Amino acid sequence: MPTKRTILLNPGPVTLTDRVRQAMICDDWCHREPEFAGLTRRINTELVRIYPGMERDYSAVMLTCSGTGAVEAMLASFAPDAGRTLVLANGVYGERMAAILGAHRKPFYLSQGEWTAPLDVAAVARLLDEQPGITHVATVHHETTTGRLNDLAAIGALCKARGLPLLLDGVSSFGAEAIDAGAWNLAAVAATANKCLHGAPGVSFVIARNALFTEAKTDAGSVYLDLHAYYSGQHGEGYSPFTPAVPAAFALHEALAELHEEGGWVDRQRIYRQRAARIEQELTSLNIYMLLNKNDYSCVLHSYLLPDGCTYRQAHDVLRQAGFVIYAGQGPFATRIFRVANMGAINEQDLDALAGAFADLFGPLA
């Protein structure tokens, strides 16, 4: 067991503030009593208030699962059986959306791009011309595989112009990157408590257009992941259909209060950008460079090329010893990159200590 405070620089879960951690030492609440219904309602209300303009047309439902569970619930409940979903992928998480649609036997078309390339919007437009059967678009906002922030303004405009509902994986962007639901023709977005919102792992959520929850439903092909049941429960009497992770719900409630008090998503983005810039400055001074172009990144996570003479395991272990958890690359990048996220409770002293640890690790190689 590590004794000193560990700073998580992996893309979720994040280092909690003491306030959020304390919130989990909560009373023993039954989820079918009015007080838990009240907590659920407040969480769902706060979630749709993070982005201005969402509150009127969208509702949130809280789920007990990780981010993938929320993405799966969204696709199971809202991707059509009679229709076809175009999946735009340039990383692990876009490809996972296609895998989920396949597992639920929903018709889809996967546009599979290079992991290091942006989504090709012109090619998507041509594809839509050639494939008239496409009724929905699914993609990832921040592709955590590389740290790329996909160009949702362009993709969303295309969805809007063609009247295609957008199903978005916002798991690693919700709460820190801009989301323009109206301009993007957003049907639904799935996200989690334990990334940019700084809650604990265990609960996640889907925000969708009210009409999707209430109008004729598609076959979710799942009992547990059918969002219509969550909506009618949580937005009716306030009860979840199944036992929720009560302590994680308390933590999310507190984390949302903190986010609000600290200036909402705009200020969170500003802080993330400052941290990312500081980390980049330290690494660049040690001749460690980014995988993508600087402007392609989200404010949440950056990927860096491992220098010659240093394996991921060595980098991880030296930093872990110094109290920091970084993250490996996936697939072909497992041996080539390391990833540094900057979510959660990280202060200036932590960043100073991280700079020192980077210097110890990479200085001798530079």
> In the chain, what is the greatest distance between 2 CA atoms, to the nearest angstrom?
63
Q: Which of 44, 111, 192, 303 binds ligand PLP (CB under 6 A)?
A: 192
Q: Taking the complex as a whole, how short is the minimal distance between the CB of residue 355 and ligand PLP, in angstroms?
A: 26
Residue 171 interacting with ligand PLP (CB under 6 A): yes
If binding is defined by CB under 6 A, does position 274 make contact with ligand PLP? no
Contact 246, 11 (CB under 8 A): no
169 lies in the binding site for ligand PLP (CB under 6 A): yes
Cβ neighbours, 10 Å, residue 209: 19
Q: How far apart are CA 160 and CA 344, in angstroms?
A: 34
Looking at 44, 64, 172, 298, which residue binds ligand PLP (CB under 6 A)?
172
Query: Contact, 167 vs 75, CB < 8 A?
Result: yes
Structure letter (DSSP) for residue 305: E
Containing 296, the helix (H) or strand (E) segment is: none
**Comparison of 111 and 144: residue with beta carbon closer to ligand PLP:** 144
x-marked contacts with ligand PLP along 45-74 as a string, rule CB under 6 A: ---------------------xxx--x---
Question: Taking Cα atoms as reference points, which of 90, 131, 124 lies closest to residue 108?
Answer: 131
Q: How far apart are CA 309 and CA 305, in angstroms?
A: 12
Report residue 33 as tokens.
């009593």
What is the footprint of ligand PLP within residues 9-48 (CB under 6 A)?
11-12
Q: Interface with ligand PLP by CB under 6 A: which range of 50-58, 128-136, 167-175, 329-337?
A: 167-175
Q: For ligand PLP, which residue has the nearest CB?
A: 67
Q: Are 152 and 184 in contact (CB under 8 A)?
A: yes
C-alpha distance across the termini of the chain, in Å = 33
Q: Which is nearer to ligand PLP, 119 or 171 (CB)?
A: 171
The region of 30-38, 164-172, 263-271, 344-352 touching ligand PLP under the rule CB under 6 A is 164-172
Q: Kindly state the smallest distance separating residue 252's Cβ from ligand PLP, in Å.
A: 14
Interactions with ligand PLP, residue window 90-149 (CB under 6 A)? 93, 140, 142, 144
**Least distance (Å) between residue 63 CB and ligand PLP:** 11
Q: Which residue shows structure tokens 């429960």?
A: 233
Q: Which stretch binds ligand PLP (CB under 6 A): 82-90, 113-121, 146-154, 168-176?
A: 168-176
Side-chain-facing half-sphere of 112: CA atoms under 13 Å: 10
SS3 301: strand
Q: Which residues bind ligand PLP (CB under 6 A)?
A: 11-12, 66-68, 71, 93, 140, 142, 144, 169, 171-172, 192
